Amino acid sequence: MNYQIEFRDVSVSYGKDVALRDINIQIPKNEIFGIIGPANAGKTTFLKAINRTLEFIHSAKTTGEVLFDGKNVKQIRNVYGLRRKVGVVFPLPVGLPMSIYENVAYAPRRSGIHDKQELEDIVVRCLQQAMLWDEVKDRLDMLGTKLSGGQQQRLTIARALSHSPDVLCLDEFSIAIDPVTTMKIEDVLVELKSEMTIILVTNLVQQARRLADQTAFFNKSELVEVGPTEKIFTSPDNQLTYDYVTGDFG
Amino acid sequence: MPEASPATEKRFSLRRSVQKVVDFTEPAIVGLIHLCGWSAIIFVMAIFFFVFKESLPAITGIEEGDAVHAEVVKLDLVEFATSPKWIPESAKRPTFGILALMVGTLSVTVLSMLIAVPLGLGAAVYVSEFSKGKSREILKVLIELLAAIPSVVWGFIGLVILNPMIVEVTGEPVGLNILNAGIVLALMSVPIIVSVSEDALRAVPDSYREAGMALGANRWEMVYKVLFPAAKHGLLAAVLLGIGRGIGETMAVLMCTGHSVNMPTSIFDPVRTLTATIAAELGEAVRGDMHYHTLFLIGVVLFAFAFVINLTADLIVKGIKVQGNE
Amino acid sequence: MSSQPTNPFAETEEERRGKLVENLVGISTLLMTWLLIIPVLAIIIFLVYKAWPALSIEFLLDNPEKKMTAGGIWGPLIGTFFLVLVSLIIAAPIGILAGVYLNEFARDNWLTRFINLAVVNLAGVPSIVHGLFGLGAFVYFLGMDRCLLAASCTVAVMTLPVIITSTKEALASVPMSFRVACWNMGATKWQTIRTIVLPNSISGILTGVILQVARAAGETAPILFTGAMISSRIADSGWEAMVPYGLDDRFMALSYHLYIISTQWQNVPESFKFGTAAVMIGLVIAVNSISIAFRIYLRSRKKW
């Protein structure tokens, strides 16, 4: 079976601190894969290992293999191409200090698309997918940083979609936005599933339950348990998982 | 695997062609950035190298005299360091002693620090602890303005404004002396003292201030008992940088000290400094003779002074930062 | 002891004295601050007052005549302008890229510490030693001879550390999250710097750069032996008066001009000396105010 993402004995450490220990995980294509766990469990590091942005942290050391579409990411020569295939949305919204249009057109431009019509199509499609189009369609030349927090987060999602990634990673995307918008975006994610694989890191266990096909539970740098979401939430093998999903953790 | 649509294929090929260009420019520009990044090291070493290189013949020896009576002359380094006599153009026996020049530099610098340090610290305390909002901004701008006035204009001020004032007040025949240069230099070094000490004071966490206030200390007690001890390294660095500025200043002291080689006995004596000597004499010195090379050797001495002072100040400032992280 | 019920918030003797001390200190440090500023303001006013008879458009636009007993300061003025321009062209790219290196590329290791130390030391080298370096390196070693280019190179090296520092500060004010966002979209490091970091800090960088180079333009010591000269004949009007010096020509400069007319030449009318000094201070104040205004303007339209 060809997985979209596969981790084989992956460990990551920052200096003396271990962030991930011997992770083995397979993420199939076109699934929503939920990752839950308390703070400092290594969830964000997991995402950074996929698109090799860990390389920007000088103290980070990785062992083991991360496979993307069957290829070891360390051996991918064009790391920028890899990063374009992975869209990432971080907890705090980041509107870049340029117009809304340019925010979304940034990545396509970098990958060599300069045709005006093509760019416009991408911008419109991504903004629509991120449920932001209706609010900003009349002011695309406004600064992205001047949007409200929730709008900026959706702009960030639109940007992550703009380079047509194969994998979309969402790191606690709903922290800074209101419940209604969160619900709307959740609907979008379900739709997007047919086009790409989605990795959903969340600290809202119910969100994972609503959306994810499979769920993994991380704790203290280790993968405690992974399995079909229903199983994780109803009859997990591990007591710790049970405590966490039922809220008895700690 | 999903079939690639024509559109994505087109995009892919475009991506490829652009990628090639990027692959070429990226390492080139990154390399250039690294090179520029190291430029500071390169230039510091180049400065030392070239100034030292030009001074070297004074130590290793210069051939003097005509073709018949050629002799190798070396600079007497002991005399250089200890003699108060600086008579470079003497036909009989030129003497190159920089003791008087060093004393001149030191006396002017010390006097300027005696004026600038208390005033600078006072101003820093006021700006950092007592003033606020608009008035603080304006004060900072005015103090910055002091730093912006060119040194030759300061020299001019000493020459045409302070000079007659000193004559008037003290009754000395000429007002170009240590006092004059000290005052001018004090005004010149105040901005750096104020800005570095203000940084040091503001680097003290507000929790210290709050703790001080909670104990019922008034603002002066807080400044004196809490802020000064906490910021003492930064304040020391500020004073050191001020001294560095004083030792290195050229045009203002050239115009205000009276420019005579002299072991001073009072602040009303004219002196001459290391920097001023180079500025005044290098133009006339012939390249290749002892006078010329010795002036470069003074440059090496100045470079060494500045190096030690800045290194010390930097280590002291780094010391604060390390403490702050703990 | 008073017979009244004790008010727990009443000032004790100790507290009253403390307040007095506090006020005293506030006032005395304020006085110290003004003791620095007032004389300088007075001096500036005095300079302008004494310079008043000479100050006119002709004084700025005419060349010095008859050992500065007539005419104006056009030659030195334009010389200083070219000195600033050329040294800016040399120092700005190197300094800005060096700042980019230190803020974006440098890791926290011994090399970076070493570079930072070098920057600090470069800033602390006495200006006359810069002059000696320029003479040894540019004039003699590189064979430029005394000329505008050699002087500009010397001034450029001198301004480099300040440009590096102000660039570093401007770059550091761009939030890290912008860079991370771009990297995650597959932008290379240089693309990120070019499209996000530099456009959002360039105005801050330029304000710092121009301010510092303008300050360096007032320096005399570095150009004394590397290219400055006094009273050369240059064209009085037309194109050649606008660009009177080639890169390999010696040139007049305001700072050197003021030095010579106030110490070496007799019979220069007092108002001409004061006029030159006033023009120099005026330029400094102008450049400073522009940069302050620019800073305020930038703050008002901050993009995030």
Domain count, chain B: 2
Q: Which of A53, A97, A111 sits opposite C183 (nearest CB)?
A: A53
State the pTM of this model. 0.85
Top pLDDT among C58 and B246 is at: B246
User: Which value does ipTM take for this structure?
Assistant: 0.86
Residue B94 included in any domain: no
Q: Do the beta carbons of residue C150 and residue C226 sit within 8 Å? A: yes
For residues B308 and B165, state if they share a domain.
yes
Contact A45/A64 with Cβ under 8 angstroms? no
Domain boundaries, chain C: 76-300
Contact at CB, B15 and A81, closer than 8 angstroms: yes
Domain boundary among B81, B109, B127: B81
B150-162 core/surface letters (b: 16 or more CB in 10 A; e: else): bbbbbbbbbbbbb
* C100-147 pLDDT tens trace: 999 999 888 889 988 999 998 998 899 999 999 999 999 999 988 889
- For chains B and C, count residue pairs whose Cβ atoms are closer than 8 Å: 269
Residue A68 has pLDDT above 50, yes or no: yes
Domain tally, chain A: 1
From residue B8, give the alpha-carbon distance in Å to each of A79, A127, A129, C70, C186. 19, 20, 19, 76, 17
Q: Is residue B116 part of a domain?
A: yes
Using the beta-carbon criterion (under 8 Å), do A111 and B15 form an inter-chain contact? yes
Q: How far is CA B58 from the centre of its chain?
A: 26
Q: 3-class DSSP state for residue A32?
A: strand
Among the listed residues C215, C208, C222, C223, the one whose alpha carbon sits nearest the alpha carbon of residue C76: C223
B86 in a structural domain: no
Check whether residue B104 and residue B211 sit in a common domain.
yes
Helix H, strand E, coil C: the string for B265-317 is CCCCCCECCHHHHHHHHCCCCCCCCHHHHHHHHHHHHHHHHHHHHHHHHHHHH
What is the rounded CA–CA span in Å between residue B178 and residue B271? 7
User: Cβ of B11 and A81 within 8 Å?
Assistant: no
Q: Which of A94, A59, A72 is nearest to A175 (CA)?
A: A94
Nearest to C186 among A56, A84, A94 (CB): A84
Q: What is the CATH number of the domain that holds B151?
A: 1.10.3720.10
- The per-residue pLDDT for B6 is 45
Q: Which residues of A touch C (CB under 8 A)?
A: 51, 53, 56, 58, 80-84, 86-88, 90, 92, 94-97, 106-107, 110-111, 143, 145, 156, 159-160, 162-163
Q: Which domain holds residue B40?
A: 6-81
Q: What percent of chain C has pLDDT over 90?
A: 22
Is residue A114 over pLDDT 50? yes
pLDDT digits (tens, 9 = 90+) for A8-22: 999 999 888 888 888
Look at the alpha carbons of B67, B70, B74, B76 in this order and tell me if their dihedral is positive or negative.
negative
Verify that B152 and B295 share a domain, yes or no.
yes
Among B15, B19, B24, B33, pick the best mutation site for testing chain C contact (most C Cβ within 10 A): B33
The answer on B290 and B260 residing in a single domain is yes
Tens-digit pLDDT string for chain B (326 aa): 444 444 444 444 444 444 444 567 888 999 999 999 999 999 999 999 999 999 998 888 877 766 667 677 787 888 888 888 888 877 777 888 888 899 999 999 999 999 999 999 889 888 888 888 888 888 888 888 888 889 999 999 999 889 889 888 888 888 888 899 999 999 988 988 898 888 888 888 888 878 877 777 777 777 778 888 888 888 888 889 889 888 999 989 999 888 888 888 888 888 899 999 999 888 888 888 888 999 999 999 999 999 999 888 888 877 655 554 43
CA distances from B121 to A176, B74, B116, B145 (A): 46, 47, 8, 18
Residues B123 and B228 reside in one and the same domain = yes
Q: In chain A, what percentage of residues exceed pLDDT 70? A: 99
- Same domain for B141 and B175, yes or no, is yes
CB contact under 8 A, B151 and C218: yes
In-domain check, residue A249: no
Do B172 and B115 reside in the same domain of the chain? yes
What is the structure's pLDDT at C216?
A: 76
Domain of A203, in residue numbers: 5-244
CATH superfamily of this structure's domain C76-300: MetI-like (1.10.3720.10)
Residue B227 in any domain: the answer is yes
Residues of chain B in contact with residue C130, where contact means CB-CB under 8 angstroms, are: 47
Which residue is associated with the tokens 């001390």?
C21
Between B320 and C174, the higher pLDDT residue = C174
What per-residue confidence (pLDDT) applies to C60?
A: 81
Domain-embedded: residue B16: yes
What is the CATH number for A46?
A: 3.40.50.300
Could you tell me how far CA C27 lies from the centroid of its own chain? 32
Q: How large is the average pLDDT for residues A231-247?
A: 86
Average pLDDT, chain C: 85
Contacts of B3 in chain A (CB under 8 A): none
CB contact under 8 A, A53 and C177: no
Q: H-helix or E-strand containing A224?
A: strand A222-228
Of C134, C99, C137, nearest in space to C119 by CA:
C99
- Among B296, B318, B320, B326, smallest CA distance to B48 is for B296
DSSP annotation of B2: P
Q: Which among C281, C289, C300, C271 has a CA at the least distance from the CA of C55?
A: C271
Write down the residue that tokens 């200090």 correspond to.
A97
Q: Which chains touch C (3 or more CB pairs under 8 A)?
A: A, B
**Are B282 and B175 members of one domain?**
yes
Does residue A188 fall inside a structural domain?
yes
